[in-house]
Structure 1
Amino acid sequence: MSETANGDGLKPKYKRVLLKLSGEAFGQGSKSGISIDETLNIAQQVKRVVDRGVQLAIVVGGGNILRGAQFSAGGSLINEVTADYMGMLATILNGLALQEAMESLNYQTRLLSAIPMQSVSEPYIRRRAIRHLEKNRVVVLAAGTGNPGVTTDSAAALRAWELGCEVLLKATRVDGVYSDDPERNPHAVRYEKLTYAQVVRDNLRVMDIPAIDRCREAKMPILVFDYKREGSIERAIAGHPIGTWVCDS
């Protein structure tokens, strides 16, 4: 079967994958809140991946609803720790929306939260999450690690390691890692491949340092790519040269 624009005919290179979605993936442009259209678009892309037999875990952010950092500026009434917990709760809303979107496409999905919230989600238990993956259920992971002061990037790196994933896909609105912000600097250069050491040395905005260190220790390759390009998630899982790869060499 020949490849098409939407990724048809691409054979997965990886069996178990961790996809990191920022909160902005669920929003529309600069607007806050959850966009049903954007959420359904994510679900449809996920469907095509799962149809190929890939076991998929998804870590969701909550920045489209609330960022803990917005309350931690000087003079804020809200304590920084409390603000981080508020940000974690925002990820639950995105997780619920994605779960409903996936199940509207007739795909079994489990929302697991690092903060106990039994009325709307299962608690995150590593062995339970692995069992869901083995049963070909989409596993949506919310509330980060359940601890303040830990980013969703670090949560994604930790969960990818815990669940035995082969690759961490970081979905963004740009097509890789650049030497500078490409939205402000038209001369910024896109990297095709980086080492973990280069990312740390050059302070490139891939993921925070603890996340990079975790992936380096686990020899977990990271792919930063534009998820909105048609077929990009399928191509990423097929190991095609899209976006920017971060690995040992």
Structure 2
Amino acid sequence: MISNWIRQRLQRKTGRATDTFPCDIAPTTRVTAVGDIHGRLDLLHALLPRLDDQSPLVFVGDYIDRGPFSAQVLRHLHHLSDASDRHVHCLLGNHEEMLFHFLDDPERHARLWFRNGGLHTLASFGLKPTGDLEDSRKVMELAEGLRQSMGQDLLEWLTKRPLTWTNGNVTIVHAALDPRRPVEAQDRQICLWGHPMFPRTARGDDQWVVHGHTIVDRPRVRNRILSIDTGAFASGRLTAAEIEDGGVRFLSTG
């Protein structure tokens, strides 16, 4: 049965691409989870006004790379998380982890990050890579330029992002949880990069898991798992899951 809250919001909002899914999910308060943004500030601006502005808002990570406005997305989320009138929680994604690795050891990690959208992020911070990107000196210069362009405040905020957020029987994570282990005993690598048994294997507890990282055509519900990464950087569809006791409502741009 669809709750009165979901029914009221369906009547109140006329945004495109909405779906509802009644289930036994049970956060102690309404919460909204937003999928991977990947530099699409335009889609973030399009989606935010359609969301419940009274409940916690949790972003699943991967704010940067591939799309054109990574710097602007990070700054906007930083501002939102510091605002006093909203409870905004930004989790860490594997693309933010790749950025950290690049800054810590540019020569070792530049190639992987650049292949996965890092060059778009550098450009959004005003850095225009030229010449031989295999050149150690050039790569070191880019890393230092990125550190300076981000600034200490933004960089420190990003490094402090948590891996998970839990409320009631709902846990939000970037990539996956190991279904065999408790939520509080998860490995960082799995939270950020995934697990071969997820989401094919159901958990033994009653916990629902909301995640991004793995692209789906439409938001998917399977084995008490909500998959909400709809490939915003390429598809133009940024998806959110509005969750309350007894049901989920999906909203997507595009």
TM-score using structure 2 length: 0.35
Give the greater-gyration-radius structure (CA): 2
Bigger relative contact order, structure 1 or 2, given CA contacts below 8 A and separation 6+? 2
TM-score using structure 1 length: 0.35
